[in-house]
Amino acid sequence: MKHFKELNLSNELLNAIEEIGYTKPTEIQSQTIPLIMEGHDIIGLSKTGSGKTAAFSIPTLELLDTDSTVPQLLVIAPTRELALQIAGEIKRLSSHMKNVRITTVFGGDSMQRQIKSLKKANIVVGTPGRIQDHIRRRTLILKHLKYLVLDEADEMLNMGFYEDIVNILAKTPKNKQISLFSATMPKEIMKISNTFLKNPKTINVRSKETAPTQINQYFYFIKGSQKKSALSMLIQLYSPNRAIIFTNTKKMADEVAGLLMNNNLNANALHGDMPQDTRLQVMNKFKAGRINFLVATDVAARGIDVDDIDLVINYDLPQTQEYYIHRIGRTGRAGKEGTSITFINSRKQLTDLNQIKNKTKSEIIERTLPSKEEFQEIIIKNKLEGIHQTEIHPMAIKFVDSLREDRLNDLGIAYLLANHIINETLEQYDLDNMSSNNVINIPLGRKQKVRPKEIVNAIINKININPKDVGDISLFKNHSTVELKPEHADKLIKKSKLRVGQNTVRVKIHK
């Protein structure tokens, strides 16, 4: 299908589609839109970035009874950010239509505002928990519902929303039309499909999705103890105007954002433990360019739609191929080139990255950090460029005059100030500490429900060290890694066995 006009859409929708800048339907759109308009339930197997929001929004807007003031379309999304993004997309697509009233419902937002807006809304977009709240309060009445969309269904299951989804579906009319979108099809989704969908048509566009070709993809082999210094170094080297740094945990997002702010960079964390108002403020500031560096977890970053991100850094290796594509797809948009960097710290992670590389048909090139001397040369060059572009502050003139009063000539003043600037800058990067710690392997991971705190307590009790001496801890499916100074690592290895929680295991050097 080459054009949206072939879909028999109203002029109002076609005009909005043209204004948005959509030129031709994506694969998921060209297959999904006709099926929804024909009344079929569908299962769309598609990843983020395929255009699925428009795929379900366009046909349901075409079919919507705009004279009605009761909810006809309910879209359920895993996060507040994605709910807001979906609502924004529907609003743009319905910009030429009359009486389309969209409201969003999610936790952390005013319940009274939501109750008021639900009284006249014919489209509701929300998260499972808050939708359930409104159903229980009878502030969301679904007896006239015609269309229901489950977006990123597998992500909702990963977040523990299975029962909420089932409860919501059970309270909707049996004759409604359901569209279910997911990147994967775990057994719980199959169960939902078998229970609630009627002879669904399956659309699978996953196999043809690969990493975007306009993104230059690199990886660096970096020990966990070096990651923070390496991050600061690479930001200096690549000099992005705007970047997203992805971490696998909320705690690490806070730590990395704190590091960047301490380096006088305009940075903020974004994760699910932050108050909703704060998260929205951070997202809006990033979109407006008032924040240059966003440190985010995968779930919290859903809903960010910014075209001019120069650099994406996977501070932690993504846990799935889908997350990798989703992360790096934040850069290289709107016809621009982008760059992605991934940190790995073990042979196991290199194997995982190679699997991602093969599945996504990507070229991910290994790079090494510059030497201390090379980096110092780059710092000097960048500082010189910055100095030439900086206006002279009146206080600077007074400062130089004061130095002249101390009988320093201009060359002496230049050496003194350059020495201060360079020393202050290099302190941020801790170049002399880029290779020290050993990585210990502990054969317990997420599957065994081990927690970082348990690992720390086990180690400090076993070899009698300070908690601050325990370095970065990474949790994997069936094992964990922890960084220790060589002398502490040797001491722990000699002890051989370590009791973590209720488990006693043998530890070894991680290879």
Tens digit of each residue's pLDDT (9 = 90 or more) over 164-194: 999 999 999 999 999 999 887 888 999 999 9
Please, which pLDDT band fits residue 435 given cuts at 50, 70 and 90?
very low
**Range in 95-109, 257-271, 405-419, 454-468 the model is least confident about:** 405-419
Please, which pLDDT band fits residue 425 given cuts at 50, 70 and 90?
low
Please, which pLDDT band fits residue 437 given cuts at 50, 70 and 90?
low
CATH architecture assignment, domain 438-509: 2-Layer Sandwich (3.30)
- Beta carbons within 10 angstroms of residue 11's beta carbon: 8
Which of 35-39, 223-227, 302-306, 494-498 is most confident? 35-39
Helices (H) and strands (E) in the chain, counts: 20, 20
How many angstroms separate the CA atoms of 223 and 319, rounded?
18
SS3 314: strand
Please, which pLDDT band fits residue 511 given cuts at 50, 70 and 90?
low
DSSP class of 213:
T
- Beta carbons within 10 angstroms of residue 495's beta carbon: 13
pLDDT over threshold 60, residue 151? yes
**Residue with the larger pLDDT of the pair 390 and 102:** 102
Q: What is the pLDDT of residue 47?
A: 64
- pLDDT tens digits, 11-46: 999 999 999 888 788 889 999 999 999 999 999 987
Token pair in block for residue 86: 């979906």
Q: Are 179 and 148 in contact (CB under 8 A)?
A: yes
| β-bridge partners, 440 | 482, 509
Q: What is the pLDDT of residue 442?
A: 92
The domain defined by 4-204 folds into Rossmann fold (3.40.50)
| Helix, strand, coil percent content, the chain, rounded in steps of 5 | 45, 15, 35
**Residue with the larger pLDDT of the pair 392 and 340:** 340
Domains 4-204 and 215-367 share a fold: yes
**Range in 27-31, 113-117, 276-280, 354-358 the model is least confident about:** 276-280
Radius of gyration of the chain from Cα atoms? 27
Q: What is the pLDDT of residue 481?
A: 86
Q: Are 22 and 2 in contact (CB under 8 A)?
A: no
Please, which pLDDT band fits residue 127 given cuts at 50, 70 and 90?
very high
**Range in 228-232, 251-255, 405-409 the model is least confident about:** 405-409
CATH architecture assignment, domain 215-367: 3-Layer(aba) Sandwich (3.40)
How many angstroms separate the CA atoms of 160 and 163, rounded?
8
**Range in 367-371, 389-393, 459-463 the model is least confident about:** 389-393
Instruction: Indicate the domain borders of the chain.
Output: 4-204, 215-367, 372-431, 438-509
